A and B are shown apart, each in its own frame.
Chain A
Amino acid sequence: MSQLPANYIEHHLTHLQLNLNNFTIGNGGFWTLNLDTFIVGLITALLIAGVTRYVAVNMKVGVPGTLQNVVEAAIGFVDRSVRDTYHGKSQLIAPLALVLFLWIFLMNTLDLLPVDFIPSLMRVAGVEHFKIVPTADPNMTFSMSITVFFLILFYNFTVKGWHLGKEVLTKPFGPWLFPVNVFFRLLEEVVKPFSLALRLFGNMFAGELIFVLIAMLPWWSQWLPGGIWAIFHILIITVQAFIFMMLTIVYLSMAHDSH
């Protein structure tokens, strides 16, 4: 390894960025597009849309094929999770939960690719930085959690109407402590998108960092910690995708029911 460890780590944690002010590669403050996150997110999204749409078009009521089985298993699993928790009429919740689960799972899985594999290929192609895991980019995780946040607000207002005001003012400490109630409620709602986004980001970022650290060990010793961490990471990948989906369902059903 020719680089210093700090440089190596920093190299792996730097995005391929497009400055949207003048459309050149580089950082442009807020108006910067992380091309790697965006492109990988787009490819995985197209993959999910393509495969699920392909299955939907070729859907057989009779004996299903392998691919149809896989997609049906995912949909059945998400559908059961939604039905167990959410009892409203919205047709959006279940597809939303499915997309969250599949997309996060797929993007997380990219963490299992060897940390130097894609960046090396990209360097050959002339691209200096490329971060392959979109869920290790807070922009990705916050884009999903903010969508969920706005959906929570939307359902709170549309489903509860005027009852929402009463609920915010009187729960949980009764009408006389309404300033505390309002404060608590606002805190509760604002914390939701942060907890969703930061949990996923933190897990994936830390996981990636550990892979990078393992990659700095001597080559003959990497297989043991790398293997152990990769196997453990399969669990984290799945669990994080599931948690994000499940919490979204829970938050949205709470937005429907008075509590």
Chain B
Amino acid sequence: MEINATLLGQLITFAILVWFTMKYVWPPITKAMQEREKLIAAGLEAAERSKRELEQAQHKAISIIQDAKRDASLVVDAAHKRSLQMIEEAKESAREEGNRLIAHAKDEIGREVNQAKTILRKQLSQLAVLGAEKIIKHNLDASMQKTLLDEFVAEL
């Protein structure tokens, strides 16, 4: 074991290596490592947050679906009620229309009966006049005949 100038040479090499590492190696590497640590922490935090948000969104979706279901059942009920009502209304109006038509037809029938009666009355009176004319042709003049005929018609 002997100590010689190699010691000085190694001292210089060592000093330069330490200086180089301190200046050009250590800072960039540790900086990047710290950045990565921050990045990972942020990533984990974001994952946690999005998990929470997902949970909230699921709750929200469930409540929206429940609302929608409730709304839909309300709408269906309303529509059902409305259709029943419409059916009732339609029945009502149909009944009214029928009654109206029946009344109208009755009126028509009455009028036609009257008309027929009048016509029959006239024909009968003519037939009666014809008969009477044939029977009493000679005794009556035309004016007398007319008076009698009118009385006869009025009595019918």
**Which A residues lie at the B interface, using CB under 8 A?**
17, 20, 29-34, 37-38, 41-42, 45, 48-49, 52-53, 55-57, 59-62, 71-72, 75-76, 79, 91-92, 94-96, 98-99, 103, 134, 137-140, 142-144, 146-147, 201
Residues of chain A contacted by B3 (CB below 8 angstroms): 30, 138-139, 142
Q: How far is the CB of A98 from chain B (nearest CB, A)?
A: 6
Which residues of B1-21 are within 8 A (CB) of A? 1-11, 13-18, 20-21
A137 near B29 (CB under 8 angstroms)? no
Assess whether B35 is interfacial by the CB under 8 Å rule: yes
Assess whether B30 is interfacial by the CB under 8 Å rule: yes
Partner of A49, one of B1, B21, B36: B21
- Which residue of chain A is the closest to B7 with respect to CB atoms? A139
| Shortest beta-carbon contacts, A-B, top 8 | A143-B10, A139-B6, A95-B22, A34-B6, A32-B4, A59-B32, A95-B26, A56-B28
A-side binding surface: helix, strand, loop or mixed?
helix
Residues of chain A contacted by B35 (CB below 8 angstroms): 61
A143 near B4 (CB under 8 angstroms)? no
In this complex, the interface size class of chain B, counting residues with CB under 8 Å from chain A, is: 20 to 34
Given A56-B29, A60-B32, A95-B21: A30 touches B4 (CB 8 Å cut-off)? yes
Q: How far is the CB of B82 from chain A (nearest CB, A)?
A: 64
A38 to B35, CA, bound (A): 38
Residues of chain B contacted by A49 (CB below 8 angstroms): 17, 20-21, 25
Residues of chain A contacted by B32 (CB below 8 angstroms): 59-61
A114 to B35, CA, bound (A): 43
A142 to B35, CA, bound (A): 38
A20 near B14 (CB under 8 angstroms)? no
Q: Which of B21, B22, B39 lies at the interface centre, i.e. has the most chain A CB atoms within 10 A of its CB?
A: B21
**Which B residues lie at the A interface, using CB under 8 A?**
1-11, 13-18, 20-22, 24-26, 28-30, 32-33, 35-36, 39
Given A56-B29, A76-B33, A147-B11: A31 touches B17 (CB 8 Å cut-off)? no
A33 near B26 (CB under 8 angstroms)? no
- Which residue of chain B is the closest to A96 with respect to CB atoms? B18
Q: Which of A30, A48, A143, A144 lies at the interface centre, i.e. has the most chain B CB atoms within 10 A of its CB?
A: A143
Partner of A96, one of B22, B24, B33: B22
B29 near A146 (CB under 8 angstroms)? no
**Would you give 18 A-B contacts (Cβ < 8 Å), ordered by A?**
A37-B10, A38-B9, A48-B17, A52-B29, A53-B24, A56-B29, A57-B28, A59-B28, A61-B32, A61-B35, A62-B36, A94-B26, A96-B21, A98-B26, A138-B2, A139-B10, A142-B7, A147-B18
